[in-house]
C-alpha cells in the first residue's frame, strides 16, 4: 500500500515536468515579441535591449526554461511584465479567489448531482428518472457563460435582487463571509455548479443502474435486506467511480472557471489568465497555467489514492 | 482418403510430426517502486514430448498446469523463452528449417470460447476465408472453399454462410471454428478445451465430427482437456501435466489402467464413479495446488505427495519405464537407482 | 453423420442484417433521438443554405436601427448592437460555429483513433510512449488547455480549430486504446494471428470494426463540448474576430446590451444551447442503440 502511494507520487513527477514543459513551450511558441506588451513601439533600441536582458528573453530557449523552472520550484515565478508585481503573489491571490468561488460551487454541484443521480438510478424508466436525466442533460448542454448572462438578466436586470459583477466591496482582497459579499457569490456559484451537476448526475445514475443489476443485489434482497440497507452496499460499489469523477470535476472547476469569472468580473485565476493573454504578459501567463496545472496533477494523485482506499480491488503494491 | 500418400509429408511415416524439446516460458511479474520484475509465473518448464503422425495426443491437468500456454507456445502466439520445436523434421524458426509463417499453414488451433473465437462483426464465411487470403488463395476460391468446409462440418452453407456468430449456438460456433482451422489445410490441429464449454450431447456430436474429419483429412490432433473421460475416448496417447511440468506420458489405456505417477493416480481416482459399490470416499489429493509463482523446488508435486522423500528435493527427469515402452514417468519412485525407497532395483 | 435439420439444403442463401443495420434500426425506434437528429440536420442545412434563407446581409450595419426588439417590423428577431439583423446573423453564424464545433472533433477522431489503436494493439514501448504523452495533456482541464493554446497561438479561426483538436485528441486516444486492448485480448484476434496474416490486415479486418463503434459514440459526445468551447473561445476574443457572425462572438459583443435589450442579447446562446442539446441527445441515442448489442 505504501509502495503504491510512493509510486503514484513518483509517477507524478515526470508528469509535472511534462506539464511545465508544455506550459513553457506554449507560451514561447506564440508569435510576437514578449516585450511588446510593455514597451511602446517607438522606444529607443538600448532601452528595449536592456529590458529584454533584464527579463532574460535574450537567452536561448532551453536556458530560459531551465532558469524559469529552477526559480519556479522555489516559488519564484518572476515579475509581471505589465504591472511589475511579483507573479507568485498575484497568482496565489487570484487562485485564492477562485477557490472561494469553486468550493461552494463544487459542493452545490456534487450534492445536487448525487441526489439527482440517485433518484434517477433508483427510479429507472419512471418519470422521476426522466426529469432528473433531463436536468442533467441540460446541465451538460448549456453553455455556462450564456447561463451566467441569463441569470444576470433575470436577477440583476429585471429583478434587481443580486449584483451583476464583482466580488463585493474591497475588491479582490477583502473577502468576508457576510451578506454584503456573499450576494456577489450566489449567481456565479449557481452558474458554475451546473456542469458538474450534469456530469455527476449521469455518472451516478449509470453506476447505480449497473450495480443494481448485478447478482449480488438480488442475493441481498433474497436475504431479506430492505432498500435502505442495500443502499449502503450500493454506495460502496458506486463510490470509486463517483470519486474519480468528483475529483476531475473539482479540477475542472478550479482550472476552467475562466469563462464564468469573465462574465461576472470575478477576480480569480481565470480572470487573471484572461488579462494576461490580452496583455501578452508572459510571466503571469506561465505562472498561472503552471500553478493551475500542478493543482490538477496533485488532485489526480489524491483522487487515485482515494480510489485505492475505497475500492479494494484496485489495491496494489 | 488416407490411402493416397500425403504430398505434404516430408519426413516419412516414421518421422514424428512434432518434436518438442525443453520448452520453457516464464511470465514476469512486475511490482515494487520502479516496476521491476520481482517474480515470475513459471507457466511451462522444461516440457518435452513428441507427436506421431496420425495420432491423437491428449494433454490433461488441472487449471493452471500450463496446458493452454503450451498450446500457444506451439502456435507461436507466445514466444518461448527456451526450447525447440521440430515439425516434420524441420526446426521451427531455424535458418534451414521451417519458418513460422509456413508453420501456420501446417498447424492450426481451435479455442475453448467459441464466441470469443469469432469476430462478431464478420459473417461466418468471411471469418473462414480470412486466413486463406493470406496464404495466396483468391477471393472467389476462398469463398468456395469456406462453403465447402461448412458443409463438411455439418452446417448447410446456404443457411449459415452469411450468418453472424451471435445467431449460432455454441456447438454450431465450434463447428465453424473447426472449419476455420481446417481452411488452411493443416496437418496438425490443436484443440484447446474445444468441447469443454458445450453441453454433453453437443459435445458428443462434435467429438464424432472430429473423429470423422481426422480420418478424412489425414490429421494429427493434440487434444487438451481437463475432462479425463473425453481424453480417454479420443486420444491414442496421453500426457499429464502438473504446474508446468510433464509428469507422465504414455498410451492412454495403459496410463489410465496403470498410472505410475502419484499425481496421475490421484487425478484418476478423483473421477466420480458411476458405480455405487465403488464410491470415492476420500479426496485422494490434499492441500491446494501450489502457486506457479513460487513452485516447490525439485519435484513440484512433493508437497502433496504421499510418497515424498528427501530425494524428491531434486527434480526428477522424465524417464521411460522400460526401453520399448512409450510410457514415461517423471518420478523418483519409478526410476531405478534414484535413491527413493520405493524405486525398482536397477 | 446422420442428417439433421441443419443439413437440409436451403434454396436461397440466408442473409442476416449486419451490426450497423441493427444499430440504425434501433436508433430509428427512439423518438427523442430521431427528433434531435432531424433538428440537427435542419440547423446544419440552414447554415449551409444561409445565403438563400437569410433575409438580410449579416454584415450590414445601421446605426439607427440598433437593438430593435423581437418582432419589430422587418426584423423578426430584432437587431444587434450595430443594427444588424439578428435572424440573418444567427443563420450565418451557424456556419462558423458548427464548423468550429465539428471540425476539431472530426480531426481528433482520426488522429486520436490512429494513436489509440496503435497503442492498444502494439503494446510495449509504443503504448508507453503514446499513453504517457497523453497523460501529460490530461494534467490540464480542457477549458484551460484550450484557452492556453489559443492564447499562445493567437486569435483566429484556424488557431481555434488547432487548439481544440489538441484538447480532444488525448481523451479519444485513451478511449481508443482501452477498447483496442480489450479487443486484442479476444481469441479471434489470436486466431487471426495464427493464420499468418500481417498486423495491418488484422487491425483492418478484425480490430477496427469492433473498435470504431465505441470510439465514434464517444467522439459524438464531445461535439457539444466542442461547440460550447469554441463559442467560448470566441466569447473571450480568442476565436474569430468581429465582424464575423459567430454565436460565441455575438454573445460577447451583446453583453453590454443586456441592460437595454436582454432578450435579443441572449439569442445566440439559445442557438448554442439548442445545437448542443440536440448533439447530446443524438449521441445518447446512438450509445443506447449500440449498447444492447452485447
Within a domain: residue B135? Answer: no
Q: Residue C148 is part of a domain; what is its CATH number?
A: 1.10.3720.10
A72 vs B32, higher pLDDT: A72
**Residue of A4, A6, A7, A12 to mutate for B, most B C-beta atoms under 10 A:** A7
Instruction: Please determine, for residue A314, whether its predicted confidence score (pLDDT) is greater than 70.
Output: no
pLDDT reported for residue B211:
93
Within a domain: residue C4? Answer: no
Q: Residue A173 is part of a domain; what is its CATH number?
A: 1.10.3720.10
- Closest in B31, B33, B35 to A6, CB measured: B33
Within a domain: residue C269? Answer: yes
Name the closest residue on chain A to residue C255, using Cα atoms. Answer: A149
Q: pLDDT of chain B along its 346 residues, tens only? A: 344 556 677 777 788 889 999 999 998 887 665 666 778 888 898 899 999 999 999 999 888 788 889 999 999 988 899 999 999 888 888 878 888 888 888 899 999 888 889 998 899 999 999 988 887 888 899 999 999 999 999 999 988 989 999 889 989 999 999 999 999 889 999 999 998 888 888 899 999 999 999 999 989 999 999 888 899 999 999 999 998 899 999 999 988 988 888 889 888 887 776 777 766 666 667 667 777 787 888 888 888 888 888 888 888 887 777 666 688 888 888 887 777 787 777 5
pLDDT reported for residue A35:
63
pLDDT reported for residue B1:
39
Neighbours of chain A (3+ CB pairs under 8 A): B, C
- Give the domain extent around A208: 88-266
Mean pLDDT across A203-228: 85
Chain A hits for C281, Cβ within 8 Å: 137
As to burial, measured by CB atoms within 10 angstroms (0-12 exposed, 13-18 middle, 19+ buried), residue A316 is exposed
Within a domain: residue A177? Answer: yes
pLDDT reported for residue A52:
72
Give the number of domains in chain B: 1
Mean pLDDT across A7-30: 76
Q: What is the ipTM of this complex?
A: 0.83
Within a domain: residue A168? Answer: yes
C201 contacts chain B (CB < 8 A): yes
The CA distance from C99 to A34, in Å, is 31
The CA distance from A108 to A193, in Å, is 6
- Return residues 160-219 of B near C (CB < 8 Å): 160-164, 166-167, 172, 177, 180, 184, 208-209, 212
pLDDT reported for residue C294:
42
- Give the domain extent around C46: 15-290
Mean pLDDT across A236-261: 84
CB contact under 8 A, A149 and C148: no
Q: Which residue do the cell numbers 479567489 mark?
A: A97
Give the number of domains in chain C: 1
- Return residues 130-169 of B near C (CB < 8 Å): 130-131, 133-135, 154-164, 166-167
Name the closest residue on chain B to residue A316, using Cα atoms. Answer: B31
DSSP 8-state secondary structure symbol assigned to residue B78: S
B29 contacts chain C (CB < 8 A): no
The three cell numbers locating residue B341: 525407497
The three cell numbers locating residue C205: 479486418
Within a domain: residue B75? Answer: yes
Instruction: Please determine, for residue A104, whether its predicted confidence score (pLDDT) is greater than 50.
Output: yes
DSSP 8-state secondary structure symbol assigned to residue B254: H
pLDDT reported for residue B63:
80
Within a domain: residue C10? Answer: no
- Give the domain extent around B321: 18-116+196-201+222-335
A184 vs A30, higher pLDDT: A184
Within a domain: residue A81? Answer: no
Specify whether the CB–CB gap between A265 and A165 falls below 8 A. yes
Give the number of domains in chain A: 1
Range name among A171-185, B47-61, C67-81, C271-285 with the lowest pLDDT average:
A171-185
B31 contacts chain A (CB < 8 A): yes
Distance from CA of A110 to the nearest CA of C (A): 18
C105-132 residue pLDDT tens: 999 999 999 999 999 998 888 998 898 8
Within a domain: residue C234? Answer: yes
pLDDT reported for residue C3:
47
Name the closest residue on chain A to residue B34, using Cα atoms. Answer: A7
- Closest in A30, A144, A145 to C153, CB measured: A30
Enumerate the β-bridge partners of residue B202.
none
Distance from CA of C210 to the nearest CA of B (A): 7
Task: State the DSSP string of C54-82.
Answer: -SS-TT---STTTTPPTTBTTBTT-B-TT
The three cell numbers locating residue A7: 509510486
Please confirm whether the linkage preceding C243 is cis (ω < 30° from 0). yes
C285 contacts chain A (CB < 8 A): no
Task: State the DSSP string of A13-54.
Answer: HHHHHHHHHHHHHHHHHSSS-GGGGTS-TT--HHHHHHHHHH
Range name among A3-12, B80-89, B196-205, C147-156 with the lowest pLDDT average:
A3-12
- Return residues 71-90 of A near C (CB < 8 Å): none
Half-sphere exposure of C67 (CA within 13 A, CB side): 14
Distance from CA of C201 to the nearest CA of A (A): 35
C160 vs B321, higher pLDDT: C160
pLDDT reported for residue C16:
83
Distance from CA of B154 to the nearest CA of C (A): 6
Specify whether the CB–CB gap between A293 and A230 falls below 8 A. no
C175-201 residue pLDDT tens: 999 999 988 888 999 999 888 888 888
Q: Which residues contact A308 (CB under 8 A, 6 or more apart)?
A: A1, A4, A314, A315, A316
DSSP 8-state secondary structure symbol assigned to residue C207: I
B33 contacts chain A (CB < 8 A): yes
Q: Residue B312 is part of a domain; what is its CATH number?
A: 3.40.50.300
B232 contacts chain C (CB < 8 A): no
Chain A hits for B31, Cβ within 8 Å: 3, 316-317
C45 confidence band (pLDDT: 50, 70, 90): very high
B109 contacts chain C (CB < 8 A): yes
Residue B247, classed as helix, strand or coil, is strand
Within a domain: residue C259? Answer: yes
The CA distance from C255 to C263, in Å, is 11
CB contact under 8 A, A255 and C144: yes
User: What does DSSP say about strands B237-242 and B56-60: parallel, antiparallel, or unpaired?
Assistant: parallel
pLDDT reported for residue A55:
65
pLDDT reported for residue C1:
44
Amino acid at each position: 500500500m505504501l509502495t503504491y502511494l510512493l509510486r503514484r507520487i513518483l509517477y507524478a513527477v515526470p508528469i509535472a515536468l511534462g506539464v511545465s514543459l508544455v506550459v513553457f513551450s506554449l507560451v514561447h511558441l506564440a508569435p510576437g515579441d514578449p516585450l511588446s506588451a510593455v514597451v511602446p513601439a517607438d522606444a529607443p533600441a538600448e532601452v528595449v535591449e536592456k529590458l529584454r536582458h533584464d527579463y532574460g528573453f535574450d537567452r536561448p530557449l532551453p536556458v530560459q526554461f531551465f532558469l524559469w523552472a529552477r526559480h519556479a520550484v522555489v516559488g519564484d515565478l518572476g515579475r509581471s511584465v505589465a504591472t511589475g508585481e511579483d507573479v507568485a503573489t498575484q497568482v496565489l491571490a487570484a487562485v485564492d479567489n477562485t477557490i472561494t468561488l469553486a468550493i461552494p460551487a463544487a459542493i452545490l454541484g456534487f450534492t445536487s448531482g448525487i441526489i439527482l443521480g440517485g433518484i434517477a438510478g433508483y427510479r429507472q424508466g419512471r418519470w422521476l428518472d426522466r426529469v432528473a436525466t433531463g436536468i442533467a442533460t441540460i446541465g451538460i448542454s448549456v453553455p455556462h457563460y450564456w447561463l451566467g448572462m441569463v441569470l444576470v438578466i433575470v436577477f440583476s436586470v429585471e429583478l434587481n435582487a443580486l449584483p451583476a459583477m464583482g466580488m463585493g466591496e474591497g475588491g479582490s482582497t477583502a473577502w468576508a463571509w457576510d451578506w454584503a459579499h456573499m450576494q456577489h457569490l450566489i449567481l456565479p456559484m449557481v452558474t458554475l455548479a451546473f456542469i458538474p451537476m450534469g456530469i455527476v448526475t449521469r455518472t451516478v445514475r449509470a453506476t447505480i443502474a449497473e450495480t443494481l443489476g448485478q447478482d449480488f443485489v438480488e442475493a441481498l434482497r433474497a436475504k431479506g435486506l430492505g432498500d435502505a440497507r442495500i443502499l449502503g452496499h450500493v454506495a460502496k460499489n458506486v463510490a470509486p467511480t463517483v470519486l474519480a469523477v468528483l475529483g476531475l470535476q473539482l479540477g475542472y472547476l478550479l482550472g476552467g472557471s475562466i469563462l464564468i469569472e469573465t462574465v461576472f468580473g470575478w477576480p480569480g485565476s481565470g480572470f487573471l489568465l484572461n488579462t494576461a493573454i490580452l496583455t501578452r504578459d508572459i510571466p503571469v501567463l506561465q505562472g498561472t497555467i503552471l500553478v493551475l496545472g500542478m493543482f490538477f496533477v496533485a488532485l489526480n494523485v489524491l483522487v487515485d489514492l482515494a480510489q485505492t482506499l475505497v475500492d479494494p480491488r484496485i489495491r496494489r503494491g | 482418403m488416407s490411402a493416397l500418400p500425403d504430398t505434404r509429408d516430408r519426413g516419412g511415416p516414421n518421422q514424428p510430426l512434432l518434436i518438442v524439446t525443453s520448452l520453457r516460458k516464464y511470465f514476469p511479474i512486475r511490482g515494487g517502486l520502479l516496476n521491476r520484475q520481482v517474480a515470475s509465473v513459471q507457466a511451462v518448464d522444461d516440457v518435452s514430448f513428441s507427436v506421431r503422425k496420425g495420432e491423437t495426443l491428449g494433454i490433461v491437468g488441472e487449471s493452471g498446469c500450463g496446458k493452454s500456454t503450451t498450446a500457444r507456445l506451439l502456435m507461436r502466439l507466445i514466444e518461448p523463452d527456451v526450447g525447440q520445436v521440430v515439425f516434420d523434421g524441420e526446426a521451427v524458426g531455424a535458418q534451414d528449417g521451417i519458418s513460422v509463417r509456413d508453420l501456420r499453414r501446417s498447424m492450426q488451433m481451435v479455442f475453448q470460447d467459441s464466441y470469443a473465437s469469432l469476430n462478431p462483426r464478420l459473417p461466418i464465411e468471411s471469418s473462414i476465408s480470412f486466413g486463406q487470403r493470406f496464404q495466396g488463395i483468391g477471393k472467389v476460391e476462398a469463398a468456395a472453399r469456406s462453403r465447402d468446409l461448412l458443409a463438411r462440418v455439418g452446417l448447410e452453407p446456404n443457411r449459415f454462410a452469411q450468418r453472424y456468430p451471435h445467431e449460432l449456438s455454441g456447438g454450431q460456433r465450434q463447428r465453424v471454428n473447426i472449419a476455420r482451422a481446417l481452411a488452411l489445410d493443416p496437418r496438425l490441429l490443436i484443440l484447446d478445451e474445444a468441447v469443454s464449454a458445450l453441453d454433453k450431447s453437443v459435445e458428443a456430436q462434435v467429438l464424432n465430427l472430429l473423429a470423422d474429419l481426422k480420418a478424412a483429412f489425414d490429421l494429427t490432433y493434440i487434444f487438451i482437456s481437463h475432462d479425463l473421460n473425453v481424453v480417454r475416448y479420443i486420444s491414442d496417447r496421453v500426457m499429464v501435466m502438473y504446474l508446468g511440468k510433464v509428469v507422465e506420458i504414455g498410451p492412454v489405456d495403459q496410463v489410465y489402467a496403470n498410472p505410475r505417477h502419484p499425481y496421475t493416480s490421484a487425478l484418476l481416482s478423483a473421477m466420480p464413479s458411476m458405480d455405487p459399490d465403488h464410491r470415492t470416499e476420500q479426496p485422494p489429493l490434499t492441500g491446494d495446488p501450489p502457486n506457479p509463482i513460487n513452485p516447490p523446488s525439485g519435484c513440484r508435486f512433493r508437497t502433496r505427495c504421499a510418497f515424498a522423500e528427501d530425494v524428491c528435493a531434486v527434480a526428477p527427469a522424465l524417464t521411460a519405464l522400460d526401453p520399448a515402452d512409450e510410457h514415461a514417468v517423471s518420478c523418483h519412485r519409478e526410476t531405478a537407482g534414484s535413491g527413493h525407497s520405493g524405486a525398482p532395483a536397477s | 453423420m446422420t442428417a439433421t435439420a441443419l443439413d437440409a439444403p436451403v434454396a436461397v442463401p440466408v442473409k442476416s442484417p449486419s451490426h450497423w443495420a441493427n444499430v440504425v434500426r434501433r436508433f430509428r425506434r427512439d423518438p427523442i433521438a430521431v427528433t434531435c437528429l432531424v433538428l440537427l440536420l435542419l440547423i446544419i442545412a440552414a447554415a449551409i443554405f444561409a445565403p438563400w434563407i437569410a433575409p438580410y446581409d449579416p454584415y450590414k450595419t445601421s446605426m439607427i436601427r440598433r437593438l430593435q426588439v423581437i418582432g419589430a417590423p422587418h426584423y423578426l428577431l430584432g437587431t444587434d448592437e450595430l443594427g444588424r439583423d439578428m435572424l440573418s446573423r444567427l443563420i450565418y453564424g451557424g456556419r462558423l460555429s458548427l464548423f468550429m464545433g465539428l471540425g476539431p472533433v472530426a480531426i481528433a477522431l482520426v488522429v486520436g483513433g490512429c494513436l489509440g489503436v496503435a497503442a492498444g494493439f502494439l503494446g510495449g514501448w509504443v503504448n508507453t510512449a503514446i499513453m504517457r504523452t497523453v497523460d501529460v495533456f490530461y494534467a490540464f482541464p480542457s477549458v484551460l488547455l484550450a484557452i492556453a493554446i489559443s492564447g499562445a497561438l493567437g486569435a483566429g479561426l484556424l488557431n481555434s480549430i488547432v487548439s481544440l483538436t489538441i484538447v480532444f485528441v488525448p481523451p479519444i486516444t485513451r478511449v481508443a486504446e482501452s477498447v483496442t486492448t480489450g479487443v486484442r485480448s479476444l481469441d479471434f484476434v489470436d486466431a487471426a494471428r495464427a493464420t499468418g496474416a500481417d498486423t495491418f490486415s488484422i487491425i483492418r479486418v478484425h480490430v477496427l470494426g469492433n473498435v470504431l463503434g465505441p470510439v465514434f459514440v464517444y467522439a459524438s459526445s464531445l461535439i457539444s463540448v466542442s461547440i460550447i468551447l469554441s463559442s467560448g473561445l470566441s466569447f473571450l476574443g480568442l476565436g474569430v474576430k468581429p465582424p464575423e457572425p459567430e454565436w460565441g462572438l455575438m454573445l460577447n459583443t451583446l453583453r453590454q446590451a443586456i441592460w437595454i435589450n436582454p432578450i435579443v442579447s441572449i439569442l445566440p446562446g439559445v442557438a448554442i444551447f439548442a445545437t448542443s442539446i440536440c448533439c447530446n441527445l443524438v449521441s445518447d441515442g446512438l450509445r443506447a442503440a449500440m449498447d444492447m448489442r452485447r
